[in-house]
Amino acid sequence: MTALNNKKLKQEIFAYFLLTIGSALFAIGDVMFVNPYLMAPGGTYGLSNVFNTLWPWKISLYAICMDVPLLIIGTWILGPRFGIKTIVSTALIFLFTFILENTWGYNPVLHDGAIISERLSDSLVPIPNNGGWFQPDYFLNTVVAGLIYGVAIGLIFRSGATSGGSDIISMIIHKYTKISLGTLVMIVDGIITLSTLIAFGDIRLPIYSVIIIFIEGKVINLVVDGMKSYRTVFIITDNPEPIRDYIINNLKRGGTCITGSGLYKGNERKMLYVSLNRTDMIKLRSELYHIDPKAFVNIMESSEILGEGFRRLPQE
């Protein structure tokens, strides 16, 4: 029991380590990359970036004034689904953002040319609340911002925390409507992203913000699920034995053989169910043509496979 408790304690310490690193990276991405370019890739911090430029006040203060009421209202309406780690994450992101605002300011890290103190060209972008101007490099900054945001939020998810923030609005609306949660999240973040066009009149800003969201989503999947890509294969065949032997003896994998009947003629058929990595799936697909060219094969992408031969089942 002591060993088990020690293991859980180490896991919790590591989870809070990931949470701290993720929160720090999120603050870096927002203050150093997103805010100087006047972008708002969703969330309360995206909206805070817009407010920060229009009515100078710290991003962190704008965000915490939205996050805390949202957490309270969300807990009241939805119940206590926001764990302690989400609260800690909200506090840490606020803290790191506040520190960066007071030490680094709102100067961009990536730009094409030196930061200058007064406007010389229409192609320059103002540094929020600084009075300076810089020549932007939108594309490179967008890619880096998306990568940083993705790693940051991915680590926060890995720690067991949830994103909270503007997502709570989507959860509340979802409770009282039939609209899917995913659709509502896109609508809420889309409105926040479009606010940059309304506020600053530059069509590039929402477009680059959407690109950040896209890159961020891909990186989050990599951080949470890892680099491995798995496929689940369903094979309906009249000749299951050779396929079974190939999977067991050549691919060194197991699977399940399911007996069913066809809908059209009602004949009994065998269906093999097997989960493979991408390399083994390609090998099996090539071999199936030689074993049973009339086999019906359905290959599905699997975001996560847990159990023997793959990732271990989580203890909690």
| Lowest mean per-residue pLDDT among 44-48, 110-114, 223-227 | 223-227
pLDDT category of residue 94 using cuts at 50, 70 and 90? very high
Average pLDDT over every residue of 292-315:
73
pLDDT category of residue 287 using cuts at 50, 70 and 90? confident
Residue 24: predicted pLDDT: 95
pLDDT category of residue 157 using cuts at 50, 70 and 90? confident
Separation between Cα atoms, residue 204 and residue 181, nearest integer Å: 28
Cα torsion angle, 200, 204, 210, 212, sign? negative
| Structure-token pair, residue 253 | 């994998």
Residue 151: predicted pLDDT: 93
- 230-302: CATH, from 3.30.70.120, 3.40.50.2000, 2.40.50.90, 2.60.40.10: 3.30.70.120
DSSP 8-state class, residue 116? B
Q: What digits encode the pLDDT tens for the residues 29-59?
A: 999 999 999 999 888 999 999 999 889 899 9
Looking at 105-237, which runs of residues are DSSP E strands? 125-126, 133-134, 230-237
| Structure-token pair, residue 5 | 């408790």
Residue 81: predicted pLDDT: 64
pLDDT mean across residues, the chain: 84
Separation between Cα atoms, residue 126 and residue 175, nearest integer Å: 41
Judge contact between 26 and 12, C-beta under 8 A: no
Residue 34: predicted pLDDT: 93
Average pLDDT over every residue of 249-265:
83
- Measured distance between the N- and C-terminal CA atoms of the chain, rounded to whole angstroms: 16
Separation between Cα atoms, residue 280 and residue 72, nearest integer Å: 49
Backbone angles phi, psi at 123, to 5 degrees: -80, -5
Residue ranges per domain, the chain? 2-225, 230-302
Judge contact between 58 and 48, C-beta under 8 A: no
Cα torsion angle, 130, 135, 136, 141, sign? negative
Residue 228: predicted pLDDT: 64
Using alpha carbons, list the distances in angstroms from residue 156 to 11, 163, 193, 257.
Answer: 14, 8, 22, 39
Q: What digits encode the pLDDT tens for the residues 227-237?
A: 666 788 898 88
| Lowest mean per-residue pLDDT among 39-53, 157-171, 245-259, 277-291 | 157-171
Separation between Cα atoms, residue 36 and residue 160, nearest integer Å: 30
Look at residue 115 and tell me whether its pLDDT is greater than 60: yes
Separation between Cα atoms, residue 14 and residue 57, nearest integer Å: 34
